[in-house]
Amino acid sequence: MATYQELKVEADDRWAVLLSEKPWIRVGTGMCGHAAGAYDVLSSIRSELDARGIDATVDEVGCLGLCYAEPLVDIQLPGKPRLFFSNVIPEDIPDIVDSYVVDGSVPGSKVLGYLGRDPIQGVPDLKSLPGMHHQKRIALRNAGHIAPDDVYQYIAQGGYSAIQKALSEMEPLEVIQAITDSGLRGRGGAAFSTGIKWSFLVRSPGPPKYILCNCEEGDPGAFNDKGILEGDPHMLLEGMALAGYATGATKGFVFIRHGHDGPIDRTERAIEQAYELGLLGQNILDTDWSFDIEVSLTGESYVSGEETALMDAIEGKRAMPRFRPPFPAQAGVWGKPTNINNVKTLAYAPSIIANGSEWFSSIGVNKSTGTAIICLSGQIERPGLYEVPMGLTLGEVINDIGGGVRGGKQLKMLQTGGPLGGLLSADSLSIKLDFDEMRAAGAILGSGGIIVADEDTCAVDITRVLVAFCQYESCGKCFPCRLGMEHLLEIIERISRFEARPEDVELMRNVGATMEGASLCGHGQLGFGPIRSAFEHFGEDFRVHIEEKRCPTGSCLQPTLEIKNTRPYAIDFVPVGAREPVAGAADAR
């Protein structure tokens, strides 16, 4: 097998050829690009180049973060900066190829910006755009820039240098100390110290020991884990390898929700390439250390993102949380010591080892170091996937980066941290992206999803949707969550139909307190969170529904959902007035 130095020389040579020999065209085919029609654009580009006999390199890349501008196409002519085109449709391709690829002149439309040292007259620098100038990309530094299915492009950008450094210069405990000193905290929602979590696994006997990467990512409004896998899967693989070396683990599993074909295909291809070059498998980089990784798929189960339920799913069982103790570091998957981290958490590890813990800890605020990857969606002008330093305010994220509420309407609320997170009001924009500050405000940063809602949104209605999701996704193993979520949904449905009882608000608080204290996992323990924050920030919406029997925005005049019948682990949802269950509602599990 080649040494790392030999791989790097080969990668640099290939990169130089990409930049110098012929046009290089990159098309964003991540989830957002795919949804916007990127594959039709990609097909049109290839057809146009073939018809004209133009020899060019055409690569699919991940999301650059500017989801609102998709499909994104960028073209780099030899010796020239990159020129980006936004919201491209197939009909635009002949003019773009004619004007820029053939004649070297900038077209009059669809031009977004340039990226490079030499400016293009009349074209803005991409880094100066609102969605870019606040960003500090670490885990996403290669997304949109390299082809995820080309390991040499990753190596040319410094990829796998961190595992080379760890294997040649650092002891395993030094790697853990560097991660601990960096202040890296889990990005899956718990925000626990990553270095300390890794240290728990070191103390357990092995082999075997396992590293699990959680990419279940079932949160509505969250898509950053999949964005990393679609744009730069090798960074995750390197992070898992570092975790394996540091803890003495021998194998890793990337746990991805079934049906997410882009992340699955690109991760599996990256694993194949890493094995081909000796970056995974036996005697990695000509050392005596070995580590294996494979992809494990889960069904449509939100609870399988809970770490012990995830282990059951990998074992082929129904995804249901386990009682603890024992904790995973003592007895995890197949009863062996196991560590579980989120995709984002592991993707930071290579940059920390390569650049040092002080570099990472200098970014951010208080005990929230590094960056946050924000999935901005909802009624916002510029939805996207933005990696920004911890410490930015929500106002900077919503207004400076996102462009404010769509259509010039007023901001009413932010839904943060997924369905188990909370609702924040418009006066929360001074709150910083800080795990602890957001938790103190009654919300959580969670996995990074922020959904923006305008003045026409009813707090009761959006809370009902969140509770319905959480009830539907309860695995049913423990009574407090299974029955508590059904009870909460029944009550909030009653409120949304203007049929509330005087005791309903207090009843919901009592049910929520029982769930928090007695549920087996975070799904039940946090299930009352959205309702609590809605009561705190939008109590007036609830008062109007309960006392005045009306919805202040009119949202609840639409057909609502009622409980038709109850089975052990699921309910059928039926619109009021409908005769039959909604097709597939009960069977979607």
Mean pLDDT on 299-313: 90
- Domains of the chain (ranges; CATH) run 15-129 (3.40.30.10), 159-361 (3.40.50.11540), 364-454 (3.10.20.600), 459-575 (1.20.1440.230)
Question: CB neighbours (10 Å) of residue 367?
Answer: 14
Which tokens in the block code for residue 512?
């929520």
Mean pLDDT on 141-147: 97
Place of tokens 């690569």: 59
The secondary element (H helix, E strand) that includes residue 394 is helix 394-395
Mean pLDDT on 371-380: 96
Percent of the chain's residues with pLDDT above 70: 94
Q: Quote the pLDDT of residue 206.
A: 81
Mean pLDDT on 51-59: 97
Mean pLDDT on 33-50: 97
> Which comes out higher in pLDDT, residue 301 or 93?
93
Q: Contact at 8 Å (CB) between 421 and 403?
A: no
Residue 559 has pLDDT above 80, yes or no: no
Q: Quote the pLDDT of residue 564.
A: 43
Maximum CA extent, the chain:
75
Q: Quote the pLDDT of residue 320.
A: 94
* Strand 111-115 versus strand 210-215 pairing type: unpaired
Q: Quote the pLDDT of residue 555.
A: 87
- What are the tens digits of pLDDT across the range 472-506? 999 999 999 999 999 999 999 999 999 999 899 99
* Closest CA relative to residue 470, chosen from 218, 214, 288, 297: 218
CA distance 589 to 14: 47
Which tokens in the block code for residue 108?
């009059």
Q: Quote the pLDDT of residue 300.
A: 77
Q: Where are the beta strands (DSSP E) in 161-230?
A: 210-215
Q: Give 70's DSSP letter.
A: P
Under the banding of pLDDT at 50, 70 and 90, the label for residue 350 is very high
Percent of the chain's residues with pLDDT above 90: 86
> Which comes out higher in pLDDT, residue 93 or 559?
93
Q: Quote the pLDDT of residue 570.
A: 36
Q: Quote the pLDDT of residue 194.
A: 98
Return all residues near 177 (Cβ < 8 A) that are at least 6 apart.
195, 357
Q: Contact at 8 Å (CB) between 189 and 276?
A: no
Q: Quote the pLDDT of residue 576.
A: 35
99 Rama class: left (phi>0) / alpha (psi -120 to 50) / beta? alpha
Mean pLDDT on 271-299: 95
Q: Quote the pLDDT of residue 588.
A: 29
Q: Please report, as a single letter, which amino acid is at residue 346.
A: L
Question: CB neighbours (10 Å) of residue 539?
Answer: 12
Q: Quote the pLDDT of residue 446.
A: 86
Phi, psi of 390 (to 5 degrees): -55, 140
Note the Cα 191 to chain centre separation in Å.
Answer: 15
Which residues share a beta bridge with 298? 257
Q: What's the angle, vertex CA 182, arms to CA 177 and CA 185, rounded to 5?
A: 100
CA distance 265 to 566: 38
Residue 565 has pLDDT above 50, yes or no: no
Place of tokens 């994220």: 397
Residue 578 has pLDDT above 70, yes or no: no
> Which comes out higher in pLDDT, residue 325 or 571?
325
Return the SS3 of 521.
Answer: coil
Q: Quote the pLDDT of residue 443.
A: 83
Kindly report the average pLDDT of the chain as a whole number: 92
Mean pLDDT on 347-366: 97
pTM attached to this predicted model: 0.92
Residue 135 has pLDDT above 60, yes or no: yes
The secondary element (H helix, E strand) that includes residue 369 is strand 368-369
Residue 398 has pLDDT above 60, yes or no: yes
CA distance 235 to 163: 11
Mean pLDDT on 522-535: 94
Mean pLDDT on 308-323: 93
